[in-house]
Amino acid sequence: MKNFDMQPDSDIERAVIYVRVSTDRQVDGASLEVQERDCRTMCERNGWQVLRVFREEGESAKTADRPQLQELLTYCRVNRPRPNYVVVHNVDRWARKGTDHDAMKLYLAKFNVKLRSYMQRLGDDPHDEFFERILSGLAELDNRQRSMRSLAGMKARLQNGGWPFKAPLGYRNVRSGKTKSVALDPDRAPLIRQAFELYATGLHSREDVRKRVNALGLRTLRGNNVGRETFSRMLRNPRYMGVLHVEKWDLQVEGEYPAIVSADVFQRVQDQLQQKAIAVTPKQRNNPDFPLRHFVRCGRCLRPLTASWSKGKKGVKYAYYRCQNRACPSPVNAARQQVEMAFVDFLKQQQPNPAYLKLFHKVILDVWKQKQGDALDLIDQLEKRVRELKDRKRKLNEAFVFNDTNRVLTQADYVQMRDDLNEQLAVVELERDRARMEEIDVDRVIEFSENLLLDTSTAWQRCSLEQKQRLQQVLFPEGVEFAEGAYRTQASSFLFNDMMEPREGSEMFGSATGNRTRV
């Protein structure tokens, strides 16, 4: 080895070494240690002083966005004295994309830094540059072929029911030999199943369900509450019913792993999300001044009516329901009082079907028993969760108070963990108290429901906005149409239907009392 200290600085050529591996599993002869040893040997043979070694561990060369590579490029620009060479073990360690190879080599050339390789001859004459271009192209070709083989392997595993990607919330990644798949997460899967089943009933809003399962302990992999966007994506994910779907590959197969929910429950959830099913939860962003907005449709073009306040010439405000379809032949534009009073008159026409009314008490009692059981189960779950959180809080306090000598829990960590537990405990206790309030007095329910059926119009006028929306949706699951001051509906609640089915090819309008007109 040459003694660099005995030579003038101007005579010394300097180099930096860049070594890279893409995974922890190394093939023989390509480990970081072997690469560095060979590169140092090359530098020693050429009399180059090694200024620094940049080690890239677990980074792919598909892009130039690699931490150590970017640091190397910066080093070549700002360091004094600058290196004369960047030495790599193989051209494919430097880049696996021809454009990246050329761009980084051009960048180095601005600072008179040249690229050299232990495995290949790189130089400055035309033949060497042509050979280097071939080498960079071969590296890109090899990388793309590997990607294609990897993609084909993932598709094959999917078609066989395996799941080679990160497991969705509620599952965990498992491996059986060389086969990758997923298995149920024993802590999260039951809560996700409960979320689907609650939302499928149509009795709870999406946000209420999310808050409930969060209170019961559902957490992301990072230990956070499940957010709104994550929860919405979860409800739309067919993997929870055991179906593997990759849209960009146009691939959908049955998974070889246990489903969290049945296909029926999953479909009912999708119907709720797409508003194809009857839901008795209030619509969001509605104006209390206009309970029929977006519920009533224009009788001419069938577009939902909007509503707003309009200011007259003298500054007086007037409330109107309107059809905003410009192509409508006769758009609705009616005062709020006219539209809502006509709706009240339409409700007065609705009378309960005697055949169904006979079963009314039995239905109410069956529902009451189910709701009571659900409420008691929920209270038990929340009580258990409260006890768990209180126990964790007690253990945290003991760990902080009684470990003064070799304390590993700092004051700041203790305060943060204590506050987090207090917040979780407050949320769970609030949900528990709400669940207790939901226990049902069946006699009051039957009395209220009978009054509602026998005098629906009066009940609707007394309701709050939220209650009106629920009642409207139950009574008229397909909405109502308004034209020329009168209402009509395609379908009303089974409670008001007679037992006769319409003949094929006919359509029914008017009230659901049996006084119908066929067209």
**Domain count along the chain:** 4
In the three-class reduction of DSSP (H, G, I as helix; E, B as strand; rest coil), residue 284 is classed as: coil
Residue 133 belongs to a domain: yes
Q: Are 340 and 359 in the same domain?
A: no
| The token pair that represents 248 in the structure block | 């960009």
Residue 164 belongs to a domain: no
Phi/psi of residue 136, nearest 5 degrees:
-65, -35
| Cα 74 to Cα 23, 95, 99, 100, 482, distances in angstroms | 25, 17, 19, 16, 71
Q: Are 137 and 219 in the same domain?
A: no
Q: Are 268 and 342 in the same domain?
A: no
Separation of alpha carbons 204 and 438, rounded Å = 13
The full 3-state SS of 91-113, as one line of letters, equals: HHHHCCCHHHHHHHHHHHHCCCC
Which regions of the chain are under pLDDT 50?
1-8, 24-29, 284, 498-519
Residue 459 belongs to a domain: yes
Q: Give the pLDDT score at 25.
A: 46
Separation of alpha carbons 188 and 223, rounded Å = 11
Q: Are 465 and 342 in the same domain?
A: yes
Residue 162 belongs to a domain: no
Q: Give the pLDDT score at 248.
A: 58
pTM attached to this predicted model:
0.44
Classify each residue of 346-378 as buried b or exposed e, where b means 16 or more C-beta atoms within 10 Å of its C-beta: bbeebbbbeebeeeeeeebeeebeebeebbeeb
Residue 402, C-beta contacts closer than 8 angstroms, at least 6 positions apart: none
Q: Are 322 and 203 in the same domain?
A: no
Residue 317 belongs to a domain: yes
Q: Are 312 and 433 in the same domain?
A: no
pLDDT in tens, 103-118: 888 889 889 999 998 8
Q: Are 367 and 505 in the same domain?
A: no
Structural domain containing residue 241: 171-273
Q: Give the pLDDT score at 519.
A: 27
CATH number of residue 92's parent domain: 3.40.50.1390
Q: Give the pLDDT score at 396.
A: 79
Domain boundary among 383, 417, 443: 443
Q: Are 478 and 337 in the same domain?
A: yes
Q: What is the Cα Rg of the chain in Å?
A: 36
Residue 282 belongs to a domain: no
Q: Are 61 and 123 in the same domain?
A: yes
CA dihedral 57, 61, 63, 68 (to 10 degrees): 30
CATH number of residue 268's parent domain: 3.90.1750.20
Domain boundary among 443, 465, 482: 443
Q: Are 37 and 54 in contact (CB under 8 A)?
A: no
| The token pair that represents 470 in the structure block | 């629920």
The partner residues of 488 in beta bridges, in order of sequence, read 481
Amino acid type, 31: S
Residue 166 belongs to a domain: no
Q: Are 28 and 115 in the same domain?
A: yes
Q: Are 31 and 133 in the same domain?
A: yes
In the three-class reduction of DSSP (H, G, I as helix; E, B as strand; rest coil), residue 175 is classed as: strand
DSSP 8-state class, residue 219: B
- To which residue do tokens 């001051």 refer? 485
Q: Are 343 and 376 in the same domain?
A: no
Q: Give the pLDDT score at 507.
A: 41
Separation of alpha carbons 505 and 519, rounded Å = 9
Domain boundary among 398, 417, 443: 443
Residue 337, C-beta contacts closer than 8 angstroms, at least 6 positions apart: 319
- Of the candidates 168, 487, 442, the one whose C-alpha atom is nearest the C-alpha of residue 305 is 487
The partner residues of 283 in beta bridges, in order of sequence, read none
